Structure 1
Amino acid sequence: MPKARETVLEIDLNALEHNYRYLRSKVDQGVKLMAVVKAFGYGSDVTGIAKKLTELGADYLAVAYTSEGVALRKAGIELPILVLHPQSYNFQELIENCLEPSLYSEFVLKEFINTAEELKQKDYPVHIKFNTGLNRLGFSENETDIVRDLLTGTKAVKAASFFSHLAASEDWREREFTLGQIHSFKRIALKLFDELGYRPLLHICNTSGIINYPEAAFDMVRTGIGLYGFGNEKLQDEKLKPIGTLKTIISQIHTLKKGESVGYNRAFIASKPSKTATLPIGHADGINRQYGNGRAGVIVNGKYAPIIGNVCMDMLMIDITGIDCKEGDEVIIFGGPQHATDFAAKGNTISYELITGISQRVKRVLVGE
């Protein structure tokens, strides 16, 4: 790959393909795969990711909000798209763009049915979400009669799937809880199959569920973080390939005398003669203040260089004492020799927050097309 000449997030589509095929291999051939591309494709490049996933054979895409689905439609993406957290205000726009809503409460199900009837829809595909323990969104098990009555009382919509969300599928200490969620979901589905007279698709497995509970794959699985190269535990991380590498360059090098300071509030004071480098990336780009003052570092010509002082809005400074480098040299924030999970841990957070927080002003570059 060419050396960076500015701050860029390189997105490796070959790594995406590797992750997709690995996760596909964990479930039976007839099981559908829903690829989650919310939050700009977990902070990457949603259009490039969605096009590659279409090429690879994904059955569904999923986004969080209606606006994300509309953007994909405008980019020419034709796959079915599930909107995981739609708001009733957006239901007309959702239908006009052939998006499929997750309906998770009596209020939103009634509102969507009303909108679909007003727009003269017939059997519009909807996805009914059940809460089996995450306690975030979803109908409870004792609300199945409400779901049945509303679905059978209209011709405007038809359930395309029933689904739920595992709360701790990556944690073997919570295996009993997870199995309880799966059994609860089965009870709900079987009851409604009989009462509705047809069988929607079932899905409950997220990335960790695919790996740890393949018996619960049902008709479809959903994967988000796994596609982007993270498996929620070390063994799986080793089998996946992170798709993103965040790179920048050295803007300027300074030589400090003992006692001289760097950055706002003089947060770093040299205890000995030192060399520092300033990089054109800061907390407005998603590398937040929590990584400063020596807590995290970057890679310069194969060497680790700690971030010193307070991270600024558009810049951060690193200690390059003893490192052979010059202005214009490439610097790796995460990816390659420094796993994003490790970088995130130094800021007391997780890879999800780090990668989805990279600002949209950082240039995205697709490689491996």
Structure 2
Amino acid sequence: MPEAKETVLEIDLGALAHNYRYLRAKIDDGVKFLSVVKAFAYGNDSVIIARKLEELGTDYFAVAYVEEGIHLRKNGITKPILVLHPQFTHFEDIIEHCLEPNLYSEKILRSFVETAEAKNQKNYPVHIKLNTGLNRLGFDHPEIGTVKEIISSTSSLKIASVFSHLAASEDWKERDFTVGQIDLFRKMTWELIADLDYEPILHICNTSGVINYPKSAFSMVRSGIGLYGYGNDKNIDPELRPISTLKTIISQIRSLDKGDTVGYNRAFKVEKPTRIATLPLGHADGINRIYGKGKAGVFINGQYAPIAGNVCMDIIMVDVTNISCEEGDEVIVFGGPQHPVKFAEAGGTISYELITGIQRRVSRLVIPE
């Protein structure tokens, strides 16, 4: 891989392909695969990632919000796109851009029917979300009759899929709860679709569901974090490859004496002669203050350099006293010698928050398969 000349997030499409194939191999032939590319494809680049996943053969995409789906459509993505959390004000945009809304409450269902009928739609594909225990979005079991009544009263909609979301599929201590969710989903689904003359796609498994409950794949699975290289399981993580590596360079090195301090609030106090390297990234790039004061560090020429003092908006200082390095040398923040999970845990957070927080002002560099 080329050596960094600036702060850059390298996106390894070979790693993405490996993860997709690994997860796809967990499910039976004929089960569809939905790739979650919300939040700028978990902090990478949604267009770059979606194009590669289309090439690999994914069946569906999912985004959180309508504008994310529009961005994909404007950049040539043609596969179906499920919008997981649509808002009333964007219904006309959904239809205009051939997006497929998740309808999760009576109010939003009735409102979308009204919009679809006003737009003279026929069998417009929608997705019905069932709440089986996550208690976030979705229809509860007693509401199934209402959903059936509304759907049967209009020809403007057709149920493309019925789905739910597992709350703790990565935690074996919660196995009974997860199995209960799956059983409830099965029961609610059959009640909902019993009178239809077609069978919608059914899906409940997320990444950890694919890994731990593959027999409950129904007719489609969804994967987000797994595609990007994280299995939420120390036994599975080695099978996946994080697709992104965050690199930067050393801008300046200075030598300090005992009694000197570094950065805002003088948070790092020098106790012996020390060399400090300044790096051009900070919390405005997604490396937040939680990683400061030695909690996390970076790798320079194969050696670990802890963060010195507070993380600034655009700058991080690291202790390179015992590292042979010079201005312009490459720095690896995460990826390579430092697994992103380890970096995230050093700050007391999770991989999801770390990788989705990398801001768009950080350049993206694609490493092809």
- Partner of 1:160 in structure 2? 160
Letter in 2 for 1:102: N
Match of 1:149 in 2: 149
2:270 maps to 270
- 1:198 Cα offset (Å): 2.6
Asked whether the equivalents of residues 249 and 331 of structure 1 are also in contact (C-alpha less than 8 Å), the reply is yes
- Report deviation, 1:215: 1.0
Q: Deviations over 1:168-213 (max 9, x none)?
A: 0000000000000000000011112223333111000000000000
Find the aligned partners of 2:193 and 2:233 in 1 and give their Cα distance: 36
Tell me what 2:319 maps to.
Answer: 319
1:59 is matched with which residue? 59
Runs of 4 or more, structure 1, over 6 Å off, are none
- For residue 285 of structure 1, give the secondary structure of its aligned residue in structure 2: coil
Summarize the alignment of residues 282-301 of structure 1 with structure 2, pairs less than 5 Å apart.
282-301=282-301
Cα separation, 1, equivalents of 2:364 and 2:194: 49
What does residue 132 of structure 1 align with? 132
Question: Partners of 1:117 and 1:193 in 2: how far apart?
Answer: 22
Query: What is the alpha-carbon root mean square deviation over aligned residues?
Result: 0.6
Residue type matched to 1:107 in 2?
K
Is this contact kept in 2: 1:231–1:237, CA < 8 A? yes
Residue type of the alignment partner of 2:206: N
* One-letter amino acid of the structure 1 residue matched with residue 178 of structure 2: T
Q: What SS does the aligned partner of 1:230 have?
A: coil
Match of 2:185 in 1: 185
Cα offsets for 1:206-231 (capped at 9, x unmatched): 00000000111000000000000000
**Residue equivalent to 1:22:** 22
TM-superposition CA deviations, 1:222-242 (whole Å, max 9, x none): 000000000001111100000
Per-residue CA deviations over 1:139-165 (Å, capped at 9, x if unaligned) read: 001110011001000000010110000
| Matched-pair identity in % | 64
State the match for 1:31 in structure 2. Answer: 31
State whether structure 2 residue 202 is matched by structure 1 residue 202: yes
Tell me by how many angstroms 1:29 deviates.
1.1
The Cα of 1:337 is off from its aligned counterpart by: 0.7
How big is the shift at 1:265?
1.1
Q: Which residue does 2:252 correspond to in 1?
A: 252
* 8 Å CA contact 1:296, 1:307 repeated in 2: yes
Q: Is the 8 A contact 1:148 1:196 kept in 2?
A: no
* Residue 123, structure 1, aligned to residue 123, structure 2: yes
**TM, length-normalised to structure 2:** 0.99
**3-state SS of paired residue (2:236):** helix
C-alpha offsets along residues 34-77 of structure 1, whole Å, 9 cap, x if unaligned?
00000000000111100000000000000000000000000010
State the aligned residue count: 369
CA distance in 1, matches of 2:326, 2:192: 66
User: Which residue does 1:330 correspond to in 2?
Assistant: 330
Distance 1:189 1:53 in 2: 29
- Distance in 2 between residues matched to 1:203 and 1:177, nearest whole Å: 17
Displacement of 1:83 in angstroms is: 0.2
Match of 2:349 in 1: 349
Task: Tell me the equivalent position of 1:367.
Answer: 367
User: Is residue 279 of structure 1 aligned with residue 279 of structure 2?
Assistant: yes
Which consecutive residues of structure 2, in runs of 5 or more, have no partner in the other structure? none
One-letter amino acid of the structure 2 residue matched with residue 239 of structure 1: E
